[in-house]
Structure 1
């Protein structure tokens, strides 16, 4: 009976995906006014000495440019005033926001069709921005079943009964293959520096982050007043608080242990109260402490996000945390924006942007 139910659910998901792909194929052509790419931010290492043309492989007198971000952008015809700048999460790249694992439009194309310019970035030391000033050993350690579980697709090998992730093997393989390693240690400050430089280059815009990108996202908004709003999908680490208002760590059976806030000067924290912020979380997150470690990990993240938003609002800010099951949207994984219902998730964000006057 259990296998039969799983088969019916999988079949229904495949039909849903096929219908979505068919609907997309009937859309009008998307017209792009301009697109391109650039590197931004980073640092330069210079080796002492003089460059010797006859010994050109020696480092003396030579330079090494690294720790920059890579940015690919597209600007539609008659674009809204504020572009969307997309920052990925851990183990990911700009691919996060492109086509979904089962081939549907990701947020890149969905929001282009909604009239927004989109800037997709690979953070320093990741993807197309892989030139790192810090060395690291990259070991091919099998870990994909962990990530399947950590990202709440299910408890491997089982999918969650209501999950909004396609259950065919091709989509799962595509999902696994989009993961990419750090080419140097993750450094939130370096990521925030590069993100801030993007806004210096393009002007005012809206920052959209995912997961590990949440922490650098807050730092970017603190450093640069050209960030006019922040949208965060399932941030976990990096929540910043006034130094004298740090909450108690939240204990969890998640594999990364208890979750702590980060103290920063009050003057910096207050900059987050000047812009609208919205944070979204998906489904299959525990309501109470549990030994099911993936659900408990994200329980602590959701709980910390609510404490954080309440602290911002206490100081006059405008932060909202939305847990999708509480508003009747079920089954979303850690990758809400590429799930089977990502159009519904995108429409929710569109409504928020309109409410805040950010879609002019």
Structure 2
């Protein structure tokens, strides 16, 4: 009895401490009714032969489960109908959507507080879904100043004027340390298959992608009608067009050269016209061709996105490209959902969800 009372007292003190921290931060305590994690999708390989327990280090007869996605989910009290499923971009993991480099709430907590259940994904062969069925060489690569520049924090070592990224050394270090490598080759179909299995499991929801996640996002929506909408932050590759409607490549001084779309069957493309789609881009993207390679790289991406959205709408769809500085949201990097003004960025998305009646 004494031990039970002691435990209850400790629990009450812990809750009180949490309330104090919430009050100090100016936020109401967040109420989560359930949370958890699971692997989803993937494949199983079997090595030919018979397993011998006396030779347990030999591969014969043994299995390999890999190429699955990893999902961490949280469901708030009185959750809205459609959860938000978040997919990261290149070199990233579900950390993208969690705490920002300078310690503020990321989109995970922001949208939990708005009443949406959230599912944060590590795509196959990345992060906590690192078990792959194909080999890869993980090289030691010195490239962080490239990513600083590529992701439009600035032209290293200089930040862009007015950029919405914290300029202290600790935040930049956190930004560098959140990057994580592929443990196997990037395969859009493998990723889309795994995410489709997630939507089979959880039912209808809204898919939110970032950068390289854009292509797998379109593929997932084509595979699975449980995807009720797509929100894409700064996609670059993976734009798909109906056969016979592929635009010419967009030339760029970016380090990856010209940007090409891909052709798919019209019947598959038409599935993208059945759901609302919004695509966001941040600031410091060139309006005209330029030799400033990072700005020009994203110019070609933005131009391709506009051609893609116009093609969807021509076929009766509902796609919108939002260039944030054009709607008065200024200074964003390639990571608008974790920039200093991410609350403003989130508010714009929340309004779009309301407009499309996806917030019920």
Interval containing the TM-score (normalised by the shorter chain): over 0.9
TM-score by length of 2: 0.93
- 2:183 maps to what in 1? 183
Shift of 1:266: 0.1
Partner Cα separation in structure 2 for residue 22 and residue 153 of structure 1: 31
Unaligned stretches of 5+ in structure 2?
1-20
Q: Give deviations 1:242-295, integer Å, cap 9, x for gaps.
A: 011000000000000000001000000000000000000000000000000000
Shift of 1:224: 0.3
Q: Give deviations 1:296-348, integer Å, cap 9, x for gaps.
A: 00000000000000000000000000001111111000000000000000000
Shift of 1:46: 0.3
Report the secondary structure of 1:245's partner residue: coil
Report the secondary structure of 2:263's partner residue: strand
Within a 5 Å distance, the mapping from 1:1-360 to structure 2 comes to: 25-360=25-360
Q: Give deviations 1:21-48, integer Å, cap 9, x for gaps.
A: 9998110110100000000000111001
User: Measured at CA, do residues 187 and 23 of structure 1 come closer, stay the same or move farther in structure 2, by a change above 3 Å?
Assistant: farther
Report the secondary structure of 1:337's partner residue: coil
Moved over 2 A (4+): 21-24
Larger Rg: 2
Moved more, 205-214 or 132-141: 132-141
Kindly report the root-mean-square deviation, in angstroms, between the aligned alpha carbons of the 2 structures. 1.1
Partner Cα separation in structure 2 for residue 249 and residue 118 of structure 1: 36
Partner Cα separation in structure 2 for residue 315 and residue 112 of structure 1: 34
- 1:8 maps to what in 2? none
Partner Cα separation in structure 2 for residue 351 and residue 106 of structure 1: 18
Contact 2:37/2:70 (<8 A) preserved: yes
Shift of 1:140: 1.0
Report the secondary structure of 1:354's partner residue: helix
Contact 2:91/2:181 (<8 A) preserved: yes
Partner Cα separation in structure 1 for residue 22 and residue 112 of structure 2: 19
Q: Give deviations 1:117-173, integer Å, cap 9, x for gaps.
A: 000000000000000111010111100000000000000000001100000000000
